A and B are shown apart, each in its own frame.
Chain A
Amino acid sequence: MSTLEAFRKETRDWLEENCPQSMRTPMGENEEPWGGKNPTWTNPDSKVWLDNMASRGWTAPTWPKEYGGGGLSKAEAKILAEELRAIKARPALMSFGIWMLGPALLEFASEEQKLKYLPQIVRGEIRWCQGYSEPGAGSDLAGLQTSAEDKGDHYLVNGQKIWTSYANYADWIFCLVRTDKSVKHNGISFLLIDMETKGVETRPIKLISGSSPFCETFLTDVTVPKENLVGELNKGWTIAKRLLQHEREMISGMGLGGSSSGSGGKPENLAKKYSGEKDGKVADAALRDTITRHKMDGHGFLLTLQRSAAETKAGQNTGAASSMFKYYGTELNKRRFEILLETMGTNGLGWEGDQFSQAELDTTRSWLRSKGNSIEGGTTEVQLNIIAKRVLGLPD
């Protein structure tokens, strides 16, 4: 038996023993395992599952073992992912620490910082949020004003962050702060701040969908130890860009219409249900064509993601940057929800109450939520600027 086959068998056996049965069912509402200092475990098995996975470092399978990760090779991590899929396991941990901050720390942080923060992230003990945008710095992120003044042994931070996802539940925030006002990009630093520090306040923002996944975070005379600076002073923009790249890749996956709640199912099936069927076809020819245009673009987009992966594996430059995926994927997702609405008619426009099914109500809310896809993580316009400049070489 090859080493990889042995690994697969060992993994399968371990999962069989350590993944609770209830963790092999679709995740219910409010069951997302975000961890943190004050976690809510609607289902106690979620906690067991997280601890089991974390004990092997498998919440971050490819991170080095000395930082609490699984220390797996890419091939082993792929096997782990396959075996998890095979038993329909829920994610053991959902975490901005794993998806965004961790990779940046691995690349830019000091040894001391890695040893301090990464194992906590792996175990889901600290819930992180991202402090990037500000009321006056959206697309022009590098125009941010939140300042960190050098006070000898600490920084004094003042300013306001916005669109901080789940900041009201987060324990720590990774922040971009201005440490030099005389220059733009080269005056930004990357700072880690404990949200329990005096002067940190956060307030949820109610969105058009009715939910509040984002917050405003106010920083007033917040004292931050100097050891919380990641990377060099005034070199935070490099880290920020890398993080944004991870974020874009995460968001672009939405264009494929994942299985998350409220994704609404296949438009063609809904079209048959809501607007009728004739000879096995969607009866409304115009709607059928609209759906097909969208499906074709989605099909082509999926093939492009696969091609990009194959080219990367073969060591070729893909040419198609993450910006193209972010742009195309989010525009597709927005279109998908518009089509779902068109397909479901007034049933896709319910707001609340017993007259609508849960799936119908979810569609309305998800449609509204999808509008943010082409804004968050860099707007569509910013992505197009990046393609024009970096790929096509068009001048400023």
Chain B
Amino acid sequence: MALVLNEEQTLLNETAAQFFQEQVPISNLRKLRDDNDAFGIDRNIWKECANLGFAGVLISETYGGSSFGPIGLGLILEQSGKTLSATPFVSTVLLCGTAIQLAGNSTQRQEYLPAIAAGERICALALEERAHHNPTHIETTAIQTENGFTLNGTKTFVLDGHIADQLIVAARTSGATTDQHGITLFLVPAKSDGVSIERMQMADSRNAAKVTLTNVTVSDADVLGSVDGGSDVLDPVLDMGRIGLAAETLGLIQEVFDQTVAYLKERKQFGEVIGSFQALKHRAATMFAEIEVCRSIVLEALSALEEQRNDVPHLASLAKAKLGEVSRLVTNEGLQMHGGVGMTDEFDLGLFMKRARVAAATLGDANFHRDRYATLSNY
């Protein structure tokens, strides 16, 4: 397990920390929200992320990427989690970038990967169809025609869907609604005829959309990977997303905890700082222990990705479940320990809590991943 950072990684970590703190502080997200910004992200900032090599972190140098690899990815996301930076990282880099890298033919790779790495193209994975993550429950149909396919169906919670240039749509080409086999991925330009996209306003003020496909026609060349073999691509793609979200959540948890401990040392009641009360001390110490465990899990999951080990699915579920649970604990406790001020919109804690819940629900909540972990462990 590569648990200690090397020199290059340490430097990247510092660069990322500085960038997000200075260029994309929480006030950035707050402004997007308060201005009701139609775009929901700051595109210039995303361009700068790309200039620093962040957008191309998983893309090989052949396609203009920076090849920092999964450990580098984890560092960037952890730092971005600390300031709740709104970027299309999950949709474009983790999900779509990985899918194209894994399953794309050379034409598709050449077309999309350099544009993603340059921060010029935003892509969204249109997968979910119901309130709970279920990557094999696909009712959206793709009927074969003479020159390609016709797509029909409705997708929900498509991250960055309303600002995407490009969609990757999971549709059923064969089998029953919940079969693992028979799902196919299609590259669909967001502006295609029959594609209707409506923004979903989520509690975390980040981007998601409902995508309706009505007789959308695509050609054979738009199939990503093999027909009916979409799940084989989706599994590693979703695990990349889950581990990335866990890394982002780790940063979020750490930030909330640090702020809470600082508050415990500063806030006075009954003539004493409240951090001297054992009722609060023990809860803070308990959280510290849980966060240490979270950090170990995230590092191990990133290492498994880096080393292309076969326990990636196991660790992705462990990371997603555990970080989801601990983010709930730490944001709830953080708010309670801050008292009334934690309830105010002016204070940042609420923003962290909202993001924590949306991130926890994205790509499978803790229940989903405990079930998956158990299944992968043969019980």
Contacts and interface: CB of A to CB of B under 8 A. Distances in A.
Interface of A: 268-269, 271-272, 280-282, 288-289, 291-293, 295-297, 299-301, 303-304, 306-307, 310-311, 314, 316, 319-320, 324, 327-328, 381, 383-385, 387-388, 391-396
A307 B298 CA distance: 11
Residues of B in contact with A, size category: 35 or more
A282 B371 CA distance: 11
Interface of B: 1, 3-4, 261, 264-265, 273, 275-276, 278, 281-282, 284-286, 288-289, 292-297, 299-300, 318, 321-322, 367, 370-371, 373-375, 377-379
6 contacts: A280-B378, A281-B379, A296-B322, A300-B322, A387-B289, A394-B265
The 10 closest A-B pairs by CB, nearest first: A268-B379, A387-B285, A388-B281, A300-B293, A303-B296, A384-B285, A304-B296, A394-B275, A310-B3, A292-B370
A320 B294 CA distance: 12
B276 A395 contact: yes
A394 B367 contact: no
Given A268-B374, A268-B379, A395 B1 contact: no
B324 to A, nearest CB: 11
Contacts of B296: 300, 303-304, 306-307
Chain A CB count within 10 A is highest, among B278, B293, B318, B377, for: B293
A364 B298 CA distance: 36
A383 B371 CA distance: 33
Contacts of B299: 303, 307
Nearest to A304: B296
Given A293-B370, A388-B275, 7 more contacts: A281-B379, A300-B318, A384-B281, A385-B282, A388-B282, A393-B265, A394-B261
A300 B4 contact: no
A385 B278 contact: yes
B292 A324 contact: yes
B306 to A, nearest CB: 15
Contact of A320 (B3, B276, B292): B292
A294 to B, nearest CB: 10
Contacts of A282: 374, 379
A324 B322 CA distance: 18
B293 A311 contact: no
A307 B379 contact: no
Contacts of A304: 292-293, 295-296
B60 to A, nearest CB: 29
A301 B295 CA distance: 10
Contacts of B276: 394-396
A299 B276 CA distance: 33
A292 to B, nearest CB: 4
Nearest to A285: B371
Given A296-B370, A300-B297, A388 B285 contact: yes
A261 to B, nearest CB: 24
A303 B300 contact: yes
A1 to B, nearest CB: 29
Contact of B281 (A310, A314, A394): A394
Main secondary structure of the interface of B (DSSP, over half): helix
Contacts of B289: 320, 324, 327-328, 387
A303 B379 contact: no
B373 A324 contact: no
A392 B278 CA distance: 13
A394 B261 CA distance: 8
B241 to A, nearest CB: 19
Contacts of B286: 384
A381 B264 CA distance: 19
A110 to B, nearest CB: 38
Contacts of B288: 324, 387, 391-392
Contacts of A288: 371, 374, 379
Contacts of B265: 393-395
A269 B378 CA distance: 10
Contacts of B3: 306-307, 310-311
A328 B285 CA distance: 11
A362 to B, nearest CB: 22
Nearest to A272: B379
Nearest to B379: A268
A276 B35 CA distance: 56
A311 B281 contact: no
B294 A300 contact: yes
Contacts of A293: 370
A297 B293 contact: yes
B375 A281 contact: yes
A395 B375 CA distance: 46
Given A281-B375, A394-B281, A328 B275 contact: no
B293 A292 contact: no
Contacts of B373: 292, 295-296
A281 B4 contact: no
A314 B7 CA distance: 13
A247 to B, nearest CB: 19
A299 B375 CA distance: 16
B370 A301 contact: no
Contacts of A324: 288-289, 292
Contact of A296 (B285, B318, B367): B318
A394 B264 contact: yes
Nearest to A324: B289
B374 A291 contact: yes
A381 B318 contact: no
A386 to B, nearest CB: 8
A178 to B, nearest CB: 27
A307 B285 contact: no
B205 to A, nearest CB: 30
Nearest to A277: B379
B4 A316 contact: yes
Question: Which interface residue of A269, A296, A395 has the most chain B CB atoms within 10 A?
Answer: A296
A320 B291 CA distance: 10
A272 B378 CA distance: 11
Given A392-B285, A396-B276, A295 B4 contact: no
A304 B294 CA distance: 9
A319 B273 CA distance: 24
A319 B377 contact: no
A299 B373 CA distance: 11
A286 to B, nearest CB: 12
A384 B379 CA distance: 34
B367 A289 contact: yes
B255 to A, nearest CB: 15
Given A281-B379, A293-B370, A299 B275 contact: no
A381 B294 CA distance: 22
A306 B278 CA distance: 30
